[in-house]
Each structure stands twice: as structure tokens, then as C-alpha cells.
């Protein structure tokens, strides 16, 4: 484990932790405090510091052993009740029945065991972001060393394309730009330099620091290491990921609650049954104990964990077909219960592709259509289309955008790719839209010389020669600097700096990044381009306003989320003005954005009020995102966090469900998330929410089916004991009923399509139990019907003179066929189930019903089954009674649903 600093005055690092604010200290002073120099450390100094501070790497977390992870899968009350039931069943000598129960438990545990380890994988992904090697000065010589051997005080050399290996205080920089999008959310590379900045500035504004894990996109520099390993900003985020406790999902919480209640109810009922039979009717202890075991076996929904797991797994497959990859099964259902989606801006709501959307020419302002790097889109002035070929000012502007440019765009597999700076990519795409070809031709014969962009002069200039030998200089840079270098704006008209500044300010208020473009002619004798050639001789061509535009589908998706009662909050590390502009385009409340510094000043109550007033949070650090998620959860919300950067990883893990971008997302974000969007499309979240709601509905339908059928079986036994009569079904017969109906009927409900209007309903209240009052009423209603009909049929068969075994066979078939018809009742919560769609709308349910009928015929008529389960063949009268009673039960449930519809109830 590495500390952050060398020398006196503290051992913490950057990133706002206690200790030195290296970004606010002069570079020479930093070198002095670290005991270093511009020629770097000596080899002996580096070895001593490596021994003292440790290697520059993130420590692996102490992971749980395989045994402890496996044991954790059985730390569930319902599973423990199943294990007890299995042990009792085995003790009774029913090995096959016990094997069924144990098999369900083992399958459930295996799936949970495989899905474990998300935190460990997230930390491994953060560690993978560290550079493998670094170029340093040691003993005054340039050396390449393993990045893990960097120590505080080392002088590191950076060049374009390098990944920064530790937190560096820049000592010298030339035209340095660093891509920090994954760390801060900035949509464009940041200009960096050695001058110190204010001590209290936010992370994204610390331009004198190069952070570990970021990438140099342009220029070169040298910097002294001020933080290594866990003390770097990247290491601090890894620490946040490790410290965040994984939350249980709404489904797991509610199933745990259901398991506790069922356990208490079953145990109380079993004890009451034993006491009543033993002391009221005087049954033998062994006899009544067997009845008590039969009651427990009938009441325990041993198939519930398997049905829930299968339902979630099927939902996972359906979501994968819709580009949403689920990494943890319960997350499927959680998506359907979210009340708030907190989403990153860059790369999630936006394309992470800068686009020129407005051009301010001397005599007009042109709006530019299209998004991203694809050179598709037109031009308009005040809503009227403009043809580039007929507008010489626009063509001159586009030619400058094309020629004063080092980027390259190309089409690959239908996607436009960029090599170079995103700002230059936007200008290149714009020029192509205007018809300026990428290859120089005609009057444009290519570049002769250039002056690269540097922060000292804030512009880039390129020299070109036309076919007549005339030397042309094209210029682009900061708008204020370009205005200083322009003498006119064409046709001898002088530049009005005040007027242009108003136009620049207007674009900035709209969140646009503004660049100025200009051109000039040099004397024919000029053979090269010198810095002194760039003086007040240029003609102003105009200003380009560009932005990382919102995805068109994201706007529609946000509308759909609102219609479904889901709030959307945009959380970004970008500037407040830019964030507000994007938020307004997305239709979010953006007039008063919340900022990171404001969050630091807010109490929890004040933060909750501000979150209720705005949908935009800007300049947010990883700690801010964690606090925002916690604040929303504290108000009872089910929070989804969407993001793609390393800075999103802690919040992704802390949220009830984390959603990462699959294409442009970092590995750290993907590993911390529960769901990964393969198409990086925010709109896919809306589809996933719909699927999540459908899955939750299907799990409730499974409960709606399993609980009353188990209740009916238990009710028959209870009624027989309390009346002092023979049991209508035996324990082994009940296990058969539970096994075949779970394998066939209950699983079929996992394949149910979405009910009509599923996305028109508001999110269910987070505190709502999985067994609502209406659902419980249906369970009790069907339990009474099934118990009464089965008990009546059993005693009717005995009254007809049939043997106890034959009467029990009729009772078992009454239970099974009654459950079969009830399956089709359950396909809709309150909508009627009387049409053709009821039978054929879910093919799995149809074929499951056919399979169940075949199994019951085998159960009734095959000799081995008769011997195993104690059954006898049924005569036509018995079958007629079973079918008639089942039809009556089906119509009785449909009548109850009709009453609910008249009361306006659409879901249970």
C-alpha cells in the first residue's frame, strides 16, 4: 500500500483529502517539499522510498473464502425451513421426496454462489486502469520502468497517448491536453499546465495535476509524483467502491419478509394441529406427528425459490435480446420498481461526441443539424434552409475548419470513428456537411507548416499554398484571442469586439463551447510560418458553437419514464451552465442546477429540498454522487444510477440498481453495475424498466398461484384433523402435487407477456409488501374454494363406498385439476380470462397443462405409481365430479375478478 507524499508536512494526497493541496503550490516548491529535483531522483532514493511507501498499485481487498460464500447462500429463513422439511421427510424414510426438496435448495444456492463477487471484480477493474509502464528521469537519465515502481518525488515524462501512472504535479507542460472524462465527466480533453490554481477549486478544475488513470491526448509534459497507489484520486475511488455495502434488492427484502411470516404461520399451525389432535381427539403421538409433518410439507412453498429464480433468469434472457445484460438476477426485478433514475450526462444522455450546432458568421447566425461525428445534417437561418454552395462565408468558414485541423474521421462498421481531439472532430464533421472534402484538392493544396495549439498563445495556425503559390494562413482558437488578431471581418468591414462578445456570451449561456476561426494571406516569399507572422492581419470568419448533444432517443426515453412515474436526475462533473443547457434540451428542470460546492454546504434536509426542486446536478464528485444516492434512498426511493466512468463506480454500487454503458463504459463501471447496456442507449433503460415490471408481475402471479394451492392442500389436512377424520391426502401425495405443479404450472407463469398498461402505472410504493391486501384476499378466497371442494369430494367418494385409497386419488386429482384451471385465472390479475387468448396466449402454459394432464393420468393408472403413491384408478363418475367442481371454481374466481374490475382495480 502506498502513501501519497514524500517530505514534510503531511502524507495524504490530492483529491481534497487532508494534507498538501498540491494543485495550489508552485511547482518548484512542490519539488522542494518532496525532496526531489528537475533531474529526478537517484536510484538509491527511489529504492528507499519504494521500501517506505510501497508499490504504486491498488491493494487487493480481503475476499471471502469459497466456503463462506457458499454458506451465505443458505442464510435465508425460507431456505432453512426447506432444509428442515427435507430432513424430516428423509427421517420418515421418504428419500425421493427429500431429494426433491434438497435439489431445489441446491439449485438456488448454486445460482446465488455463481452471481457473487461483484465488489471484488469492481476493484479489479479499477486496478486494471493503472498504466503498466512509466517513463521517468532517474539519475538524470530517461528510463522506462514498471508503473508499480513509481514513488513520490519521481519525475515522470508524458507524451501524447500515454496513460498517466500516478497523480502528478505538472512541472513543465507544452500544449498538454488530458482526457479526464472517466474520472470527472468532462466531455472534452482538459488543457493542463504548470501554473498553480486556487486551493478550493473542484477536481475538474485542477489543471496543474495529471491524475492517475487518465490519458494524454495531445502535447507533452513532465510532472513530479505526489500520490501513488491507494492515495491517488483513482485509488480513493477504489476505496469508495470497496466501502460501499451492497444493498439487498426490493425483491429479496420482500421475499425474506414473506419467508419469516410463512415460517411463523406454518410452525404455529403445525404445533396447534399436534396439540389439538393429541389432546382433543387423543390421537397417538406418532400418528398426529405424521399429520403435522404432512401439514408442514403441504404449506411450505418449496418450489418458490426455484420459480422465482427461473422467472428472473427468463427475464434476463429477454432483456439480453433488448441489449440490457443483467449481471445479477434480482436486479432484473429491481428495474421495475425504481422511482428515481440518476444518470450521468457524458456518454449516457449525450453521445460523448462533440458537434457543431451553431455558427456565428459576420452577417448571420446559422443553425447546424445533426448529432455526433456522422457528417449528416443541414443548415438553416431562422428556420429557413441554407445551401452551403450558395453561401461563400459559410464555405470559407468550413474550409478553415477542415484545414486547420489534425483530426481524422472514418466510417467503421456503420459507426463514425475519431482519431484526435473531439473538438477538432466536431469541426471536421461540420466541414464535411458543408461539402469540404477531407482530401485537399483544387485551390487547397495541403499544409506547408503549422503552429500547434499552446495555452500560452491560445490558438492553432496552419500555412497552406494554393495552386498559384499564394500563402494562406488559417487560424482557430479561443474566441477572445482570435478577436484580438482580426483586423476586419471581410469586405473591409471592421470588427466590432463588443458585438462579437455579446454573440459569444449568448452561445456560452446556451452551454456551447465556442471557438473562433480566421484566415489571412502572407507575402508570397513566406516559406514557413513563424509565431511573429500571427499578428493583427487576419480576417474574422466567425465563431463555432459546439456541444456534446443529447441523444434523440434519450429525450423520448425520459418522457416515457415520466409517464411511468419515474423521476430522472442528471448528475455530471461538467460545468453547471453546460449541464443546464443539456438538461433543458432533454426536458428536465434545469433553471436552478445544484452544484458540488453547494452539496458540500447543504445539510441532509436542505439537500433533499434542492433535489425536489431541480433535475440537474453539476460539478459532482464521486462522494457527491454517493451522497445524492443516499439522500434519495433515505426518502424511500428505489434509486437507479446510470453511468460509464470510473467516477460513477461507487454510486453504481451504492444504488439499488447500477446501470453501466457497455460500449463506452469503463471496466470499473461495468463491474460495479448490476445491468450493462450493450448499446449505450439510455432509451434501453425504458425497455428494461418495462421488462422489470413484467417480471415482478409474473413473480406475484407465481405467488398468487402457489400460495392458495399450498393453502388448499394444508387446509384439507387441517380440516380433517380438527374434525377427527382420516386425512384426504398423504404427505407423499402432497409432495407429488407440489412437485408436478411447480415444474409445470408455476414455471409457465414466468413466460407471461406484459399486462396492458404496465408502463402507465406509477412505480409501486417501496414499502408495499409483495403480498398486498388484495392479493391476500384472492389467496384466501381460492384457498377456501379449493379446500372445501377437495374435502367435499373426498367424503363424497367415501360415501359412495369407495376405498380410502380411491377417495384419496380423487382428492389429489381434484387438487391438481383445480390448480390447473386456476393457472389460467392467474394469467391476468383482474382482466377476464374467458377468451381464446387465455388458452393460447402463453404457449408454455398451454403445453404445461397438457404435460400435467399426462402426469396425472400416469399417477392414477400406472401400476408403479399406484404402488409408490398409494393411488387407485378413477371411474367416470369421479372424473366428472372433478371436472365439474374445477369448472365451478374457475367461474367463481372470474366472478371475483369482475367485481374488482367494477371497483376500478387493475392490479393486485
- What the block records as the C-alpha cell of 621 is 464528485
Beta-carbon-side half-sphere exposure of residue 4 (alpha carbons within 13 Å): 30
Q: How far apart are the first and last CA of the chain?
A: 54
CA proximity to 501, closest of 488, 482, 487, 518: 482
Strands (E), 147-272: 155-159, 167-179, 190-192, 209-210, 215-227
CA proximity to 461, closest of 471, 452, 448: 452
- For the chain, helix, strand, coil in percent to 5 are 50, 15, 30
Residue bearing cell 414455471: 747
Please list, residue by residue across 455-483, b when 16 or more beta carbons sit within 10 angstroms of its beta carbon and e when fewer do: bebbbbbbbbbeeeeebbbbbbbbbeebb
| Known active-site residue 344 | yes
CA proximity to 524, closest of 566, 571, 479, 469: 469
Give the containing element (helix H, strand E) for 893: helix 876-902
Q: How many angstroms separate the CA atoms of 612 and 781, rounded? A: 42
How far from 836 is each of 227, 237, 660, 697, 840, CA to CA, in Å? 69, 56, 42, 22, 6
Return phi, psi of residue 562, to 5°: -65, -40
Please list, residue by residue across 614-647, b when 16 or more beta carbons sit within 10 angstroms of its beta carbon and e when fewer do: bbbbbbbbbbbbbbbbebbbeeebbbbbbbbbbb
3-state secondary structure of 370: coil
CA proximity to 548, closest of 407, 742, 352, 757: 352
> What string of DSSP letters covers 499-523?
HHHHHHHHHHHTT-EEEEEEEEEE-
Q: How many angstroms separate the CA atoms of 354 and 53, rounded? A: 41
Return phi, psi of residue 260, to 5°: -60, -45
Q: Which residues pair with 472 in a beta bridge?
A: 464, 521
How far from 771 is each of 261, 297, 623, 703, 861, CA to CA, in Å? 11, 21, 37, 8, 38
For 658-696, give the secondary structure using H, E and C: EEEECCCCCHHHHHHCCEEECCCCCHHHHHHHHHHHHHH
Radius of gyration of the chain (CA): 35
CB-CB contact of 904 with 893 (8 Å): no
CA proximity to 143, closest of 32, 216, 31, 42: 42
- What the block records as the C-alpha cell of 875 is 371411474
CB-CB contact of 164 with 210 (8 Å): yes
Give residues with Cβ within 8 angstroms of 189, minimum separation 6: 177, 178, 179, 180, 217, 218, 421, 422
- Exposed/middle/buried for 120, CB within 10 Å: 0-12, 13-18, 19+? middle
Which listed residue (154, 162, 344, 644) is catalytic? 344
> What string of DSSP letters covers 407-441?
-EEEEETTEEEEES-HHHHHHHHHHHHTT--SS--
Please list, residue by residue across 393-419, b when 16 or more beta carbons sit within 10 angstroms of its beta carbon and e when fewer do: bbbbbbbbbbbbbbbebeeeeeebebe
Q: How many angstroms separate the CA atoms of 580 and 600, rounded? A: 20
Residue bearing cell 528507499: 48
Catalytic residues: 344
Amino acid at each position: 500500500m502506498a502513501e501519497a507524499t514524500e517530505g514534510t508536512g503531511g502524507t495524504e494526497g490530492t483529491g481534497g483529502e487532508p494534507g498538501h493541496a498540491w494543485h495550489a503550490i508552485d511547482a518548484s516548491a512542490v519539488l522542494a517539499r518532496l525532496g526531489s529535483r528537475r533531474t529526478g531522483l537517484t536510484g538509491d532514493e527511489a529504492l528507499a522510498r519504494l521500501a517506505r511507501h510501497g508499490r504504486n498499485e491498488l491493494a487487493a481487498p480481503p475476499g471471502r473464502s469459497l466456503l463462506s460464500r457458499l454458506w451465505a447462500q443458505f442464510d435465508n429463513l425460507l431456505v432453512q425451513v426447506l432444509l428442515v422439511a427435507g430432513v424430516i421427510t428423509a427421517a420418515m424414510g421418504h428419500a425421493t421426496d427429500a431429494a426433491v426438496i434438497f435439489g431445489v435448495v441446491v439449485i438456488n444456492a448454486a445460482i446465488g454462489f455463481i452471481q457473487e463477487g461483484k465488489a471484488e471484480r469492481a476493484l479489479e477493474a479499477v486496478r486494471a486502469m493503472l498504466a503498466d509502464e512509466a517513463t521517468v528521469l532517474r539519475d538524470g537519465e530517461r528510463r522506462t520502468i514498471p508503473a508499480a515502481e513509481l514513488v513520490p518525488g519521481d519525475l515522470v515524462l508524458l507524451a501524447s497517448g500515454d496513460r498517466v501512472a500516478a497523480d502528478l504535479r505538472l512541472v513543465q507542460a507544452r500544449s498538454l491536453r488530458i482526457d479526464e472524462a472517466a474520472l470527472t465527466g468532462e466531455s472534452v480533453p482538459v488543457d493542463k499546465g504548470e501554473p498553480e490554481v486556487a486551493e478550493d477549486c473542484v477536481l475538474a478544475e485542477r489543471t496543474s495535476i495529471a491524475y492517475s488513470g487518465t490519458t494524454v491526448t495531445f502535447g507533452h509534459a513532465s510532472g513530479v509524483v505526489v500520490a501513488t497507489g491507494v492515495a491517488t484520486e483513482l485509488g480513493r475511488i477504489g476505496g469508495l467502491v470497496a466501502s460501499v455495502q451492497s444493498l439487498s434488492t426490493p425483491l429479496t427484502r420482500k421475499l425474506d419478509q414473506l419467508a419469516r411470516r410463512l415460517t411463523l404461520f406454518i410452525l404455529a399451525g403445525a404445533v396447534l394441529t399436534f396439540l389439538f389432535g393429541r389432546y382433543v381427539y387423543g390421537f397417538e403421538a406418532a400418528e398426529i406427528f405424521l399429520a403435522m409433518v404432512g401439514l408442514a410439507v403441504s404449506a411450505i412453498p418449496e418450489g418458490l425459490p426455484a420459480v422465482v429464480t427461473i422467472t428472473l433468469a427468463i427475464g434476463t434472457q429477454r432483456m439480453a435480446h433488448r441489449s440490457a445484460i443483467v449481471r445479477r438476477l434480482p436486479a432484473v426485478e429491481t428495474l421495475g420498481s425504481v422511482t428515481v433514475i440518476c444518470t450521468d450526462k457524458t456518454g449516457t444522455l449525450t453521445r460523448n461526441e462533440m458537434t457543431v450546432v451553431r455558427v456565428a458568421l459576420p452577417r448571420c447566425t446559422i443553425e447546424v443539424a445533426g448529432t455526433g461525428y456522422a457528417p449528416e445534417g443541414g443548415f438553416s437561418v431562422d428556420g429557413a434552409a441554407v445551401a452551403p454552395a450558395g453561401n461563400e462565408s459559410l464555405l470559407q468558414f468550413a474550409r478553415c475548419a477542415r484545414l486547420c485541423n489534425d483530426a481524422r474521421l472514418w466510417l467503421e462498421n456503420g459507426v463514425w470513428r475519431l482519431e484526435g481531439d473531439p473538438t477538432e472532430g466536431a469541426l471536421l464533421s461540420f466541414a464535411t456537411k458543408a461539402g469540404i472534402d477531407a482530401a485537399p484538392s483544387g485551390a487547397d493544396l495541403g499544409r506547408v507548416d503549422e503552429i500547434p495549439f499552446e495555452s500560452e498563445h491560445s490558438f492553432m495556425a496552419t500555412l497552406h499554398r494554393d495552386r498559384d503559390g499564394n500563402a494562406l494562413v488559417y487560424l482557430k482558437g479561443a474566441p477572445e484571442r482570435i478577436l484580438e488578431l482580426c483586423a476586419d471581418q471581410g469586405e473591409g468591414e471592421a470588427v466590432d469586439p463588443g458585438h462579437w462578445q455579446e454573440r459569444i456570451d449568448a452561445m456560452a449561456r446556451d452551454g456551447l463551447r465556442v471557438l473562433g476561426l480566421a484566415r489571412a494571406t502572407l507575402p508570397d516569399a513566406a516559406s514557413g510560418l513563424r509565431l511573429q507572422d500571427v499578428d493583427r492581419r487576419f480576417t474574422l470568419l466567425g465563431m463555432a458553437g459546439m456541444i456534446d448533444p443529447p441523444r434523440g432517443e434519450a429525450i423520448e426515453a425520459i418522457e416515457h419514464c415520466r409517464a411511468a412515474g419515474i423521476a430522472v436526475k442528471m448528475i455530471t462533473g461538467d460545468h453547471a451552465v453546460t449541464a443546464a443547457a443539456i438538461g433543458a434540451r432533454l426536458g428536465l428542470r434545469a433553471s436552478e442546477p445544484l452544484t458540488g460546492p453547494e452539496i458540500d454546504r447543504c445539510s441532509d434536509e436542505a439537500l433533499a429540498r434542492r433535489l425536489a426542486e431541480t433535475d440537474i446536478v453539476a460539478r459532482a464528485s464521486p462522494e457527491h454522487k454517493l451522497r445524492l444516492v443516499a439522500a434519495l434512498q433515505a426518502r424511500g426511493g428505489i434509486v437507479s444510477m446510470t453511468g460509464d466512468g470510473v467516477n460513477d463506480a461507487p454510486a453504481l454500487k451504492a444504488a439499488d440498481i447500477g446501470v453501466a454503458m457497455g460500449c463506452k463504459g469503463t471496466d470499473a463501471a461495468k463491474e460495479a453495475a448490476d445491468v450493462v447496456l450493450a448499446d449505450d442507449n439510455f432509451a434501453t433503460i425504458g425497455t428494461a424498466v418495462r421488462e422489470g415490471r413484467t417480471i415482478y408481475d409474473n413473480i406475484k402471479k407465481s405467488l398468487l398461484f402457489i400460495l392458495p394451492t399450498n393453502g388448499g392442500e394444508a387446509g384439507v389436512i387441517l380440516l380433517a384433523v380438527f374434525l377427527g377424520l382420516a386425512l384426504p391426502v398423504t404427505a407423499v401425495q402432497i409432495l407429488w402435487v407440489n412437485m408436478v405443479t411447480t415444474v409445470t404450472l408455476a414455471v409457465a407463469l414466468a413466460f407471461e407477456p406484459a399486462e396492458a398498461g404496465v408502463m402507465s402505472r406509477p412505480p409501486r410504493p417501496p414499502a408495499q409488501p409483495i403480498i398486498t391486501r388484495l392479493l391476500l384476499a384472492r389467496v384466501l378466497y381460492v384457498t377456501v374454494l379449493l379446500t372445501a371442494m377437495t374435502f367435499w369430494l373426498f367424503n363424497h367418494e367415501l360415501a359412495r363406498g369407495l376405498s380410502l385409497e380411491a377417495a384419496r386419488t380423487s382428492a389429489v386429482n381434484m387438487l391438481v385439476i383445480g390448480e390447473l384451471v386456476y393457472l389460467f385465472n392467474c394469467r391476468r390479475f383482474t382482466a377476464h380470462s374467458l377468451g381464446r387468448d387465455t388458452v393460447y396466449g402463453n404457449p408454455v402454459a398451454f403445453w404445461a397443462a397438457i404435460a400435467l394432464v399426462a402426469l396425472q393420468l400416469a399417477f392414477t393408472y400406472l401400476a408403479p405409481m399406484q404402488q409408490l403413491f398409494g393411488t387407485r384408478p378413477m371411474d367416470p363418475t369421479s372424473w366428472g365430479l372433478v371436472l365439474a367442481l374445477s369448472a365451478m371454481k374457475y367461474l367463481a374466481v372470474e366472478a371475483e375478478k369482475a367485481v374488482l374490475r367494477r371497483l376500478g382495480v387493475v392490479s393486485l
